[in-house]
């Protein structure tokens, strides 16, 4: 299959595999798609090592990088200390009591656990600049902003290094704003998607963005996990499909076994859009954590950086307890996932998932062509 997107990034199949797991990214690229690596949680030296490993494992095939750049970020030498000081005592107490209710020792809110600090640092202007410097030092085929408007440094860096810049959008007004900036690819992400997402369904959003985009390639995202859904994306006018959740059901994915088992057991109705994990609406597997934050006694989630520090510190303890077999931790456990979670089953390799999606898409397109015969 050849589309404007495959020609732009040099891949055989119009399929993007977005993942925080380097093994997934490399496998998708080896199979002819474009693996895209979630970079924001990593320190610059860690990201450099991960991208070098992906390049080696992908055998030189194209791959990309995605990072989160909120519309407004704060920086400064004392960023983390300042943000932690801004977390209200009520929120700290709520999380501590929630974890205690499920038999988990609560983290010290005045100290970071490493992962939360790295993620928040990666959202700051300094962190974004460092991530982009590392990214453009490698042979990436695409750089994407997964949240908000790409910063000028991303757009300028893309032009300077000949790397297309993509942006995820959840509404027509977002697409228009990104087009005015000069992005090279739009990803129309419907509400079915896992992670940060809006409220418009992929079936409605994709053709709307395609009509606005003119000659700019559009990828459809949200609710795409098999060949039929990829074929539907192409039928809507997209130049390809951007998939994220499906890779959670792969061998290469780094999600903990407890969460993977919960995902396999879930139905498509078991997800929720909630601000309780990142401060912005993000679709994830519903758990006791979300039920508590939806309760009448719960405080409103904080802005993104503070809520990330609060929640990710707590999640480090939840993950640790889950690994030891804590039943309370299992009730709380969750991860970002789309509504396609209901189709999860036996674990497969990421390469096999890629091949089966592409083959299923080709088969369905051929079947549709025969309808015209």
In a domain, 338, yes or no: no
Rounded to an integer, the average pLDDT of 23-48 is 96
Token reading at 342: 């209901």
The pLDDT of residue 328: 97
End-to-end Cα, the chain, rounded Å: 21
The pLDDT of residue 92: 92
* pTM of the predicted model as reported, rounded to 2 decimal places: 0.94
Based on the fold, state whether residues 182 and 310 are members of the same structural domain: no
Please identify which residue in the block is written with the tokens 């042979």: 139
250 secondary structure, DSSP code: B
In a domain, 144, yes or no: yes
The pLDDT of residue 60: 92
In a domain, 339, yes or no: no
- Least reliable range by pLDDT among 7-11, 13-17, 109-113, 316-320: 109-113
State pLDDT tens for residues 234-258: 999 999 999 999 999 999 999 999 9
The pLDDT of residue 104: 94
Does pLDDT of 74 surpass 70? no
Does pLDDT of 22 surpass 90? yes
At residue 72 the predicted structure's pLDDT band, cuts being 50, 70 and 90, is low
Rounded to an integer, the average pLDDT of 159-171 is 97
At residue 78 the predicted structure's pLDDT band, cuts being 50, 70 and 90, is confident
Does pLDDT of 175 surpass 70? yes
Alpha helices in the chain (DSSP H): 4-9, 22-30, 44-57, 79-85, 89-101, 115-123, 125-136, 152-161, 172-181, 202-213, 227-235, 257-265, 288-293, 304-323, 327-332, 350-371
The pLDDT of residue 48: 97
**Mean pLDDT over the full length of the chain:** 93
Count how many domains the chain has.
Answer: 2
Does pLDDT of 355 surpass 60? yes
Based on the fold, state whether residues 17 and 161 are members of the same structural domain: yes
Other Cβ atoms closer than 10 A to 269: 10
Based on the fold, state whether residues 318 and 198 are members of the same structural domain: no
In a domain, 40, yes or no: yes
The pLDDT of residue 80: 78
The pLDDT of residue 85: 86
The pLDDT of residue 73: 52
Based on the fold, state whether residues 63 and 104 are members of the same structural domain: no
Based on the fold, state whether residues 101 and 210 are members of the same structural domain: no
The pLDDT of residue 112: 60
Q: Can you give the three-state secondary structure of 329-351, one letter per residue?
A: HHHHCCCECCHHHHHCCCCECHH
Based on the fold, state whether residues 64 and 213 are members of the same structural domain: yes
In a domain, 373, yes or no: no
Based on the fold, state whether residues 237 and 108 are members of the same structural domain: no
Rounded to an integer, the average pLDDT of 19-28 is 97
Based on the fold, state whether residues 360 and 225 are members of the same structural domain: yes
In a domain, 304, yes or no: yes
Residue 86 belongs to domain spanning: 79-115+254-332
The pLDDT of residue 282: 97
State pLDDT tens for residues 308-348: 889 988 998 999 999 999 999 999 999 999 999 999 999 99
- Least reliable range by pLDDT among 171-175, 265-269, 316-320: 316-320
What span, in angstroms and rounded, lies between the C-alpha atoms of 280 and 308? 10
Is the separation of the CB atoms in 219 and 187 below 8 Å? yes
Based on the fold, state whether residues 224 and 162 are members of the same structural domain: yes
In a domain, 206, yes or no: yes
The pLDDT of residue 127: 80
Based on the fold, state whether residues 42 and 141 are members of the same structural domain: yes
State pLDDT tens for residues 276-311: 999 999 999 999 999 999 999 999 999 988 898 899
Based on the fold, state whether residues 291 and 169 are members of the same structural domain: no
Based on the fold, state whether residues 222 and 145 are members of the same structural domain: yes
Is the separation of the CB atoms in 83 and 313 below 8 Å? no
Does pLDDT of 75 surpass 80? no
State pLDDT tens for residues 212-221: 999 999 999 9
In a domain, 337, yes or no: no
State pLDDT tens for residues 104-143: 988 776 666 555 666 777 677 778 889 999 999 999 999 9
């Amino acid at each position: 299959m050849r589309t404007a997107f495959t020609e732009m990034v040099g891949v055989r199949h119009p399929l993007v595999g977005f993942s925080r797991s380097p093994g997934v990214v490399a496998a998708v690229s080896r199979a002819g798609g474009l693996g895209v690596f979630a970079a924001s949680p990593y320190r610059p030296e860690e990201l450099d090592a991960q991208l070098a490993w992906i390049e080696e494992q992908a055998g030189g095939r194209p791959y990309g990088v995605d990072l989160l750049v909120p519309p407004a970020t704060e920086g400064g030498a004392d960023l983390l200390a300042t943000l932690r000081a801004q977390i209200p005592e009520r929120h700290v107490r709520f999380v501590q009591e929630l974890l205690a209710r499920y038999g988990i020792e609560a983290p010290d809110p005045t100290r970071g656990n490493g992962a939360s600090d790295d993620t928040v640092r990666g959202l700051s202007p300094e962190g974004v600049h460092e991530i982009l410097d590392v990214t453009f030092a490698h042979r990436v085929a695409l750089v994407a902003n997964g949240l908000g408007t790409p910063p000028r440094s991303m757009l300028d860096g893309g032009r300077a290094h000949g790397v297309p810049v993509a942006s995820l959008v959840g509404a027509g007004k977002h697409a228009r704003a990104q087009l005015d900036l000069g992005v090279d690819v739009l990803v129309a992400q419907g509400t079915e998607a896992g992670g940060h997402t809006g409220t418009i369904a992929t079936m409605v959003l994709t053709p709307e963005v395609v009509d606005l985009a003119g000659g700019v390639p559009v990828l459809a995202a949200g609710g795409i996990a098999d060949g039929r859904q990829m074929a539907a994306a192409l039928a809507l006018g997209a130049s390809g499909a951007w998939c994220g959740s499906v890779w959670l059901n792969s061998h290469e994915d780094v999600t903990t076994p407890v969460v993977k088992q919960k995902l396999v057991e879930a139905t498509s109705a078991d997800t929720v859009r909630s601000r309780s994990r990142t401060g912005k609406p993000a679709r994830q597997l519903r758990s006791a954590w979300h039920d508590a934050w939806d309760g009448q006694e719960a405080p409103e989630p904080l802005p993104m950086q503070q809520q990330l520090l609060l929640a990710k510190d707590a999640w480090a303890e939840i993950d640790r307890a889950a690994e030891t077999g804590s039943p309370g931790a299992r009730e709380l456990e969750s991860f970002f996932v789309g509504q396609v979670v209901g189709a999860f089953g036996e674990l497969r390799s990421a390469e096999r998932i890629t091949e089966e999606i592409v083959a299923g898409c080709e088969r369905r397109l051929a079947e549709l062509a025969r309808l015209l015969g």
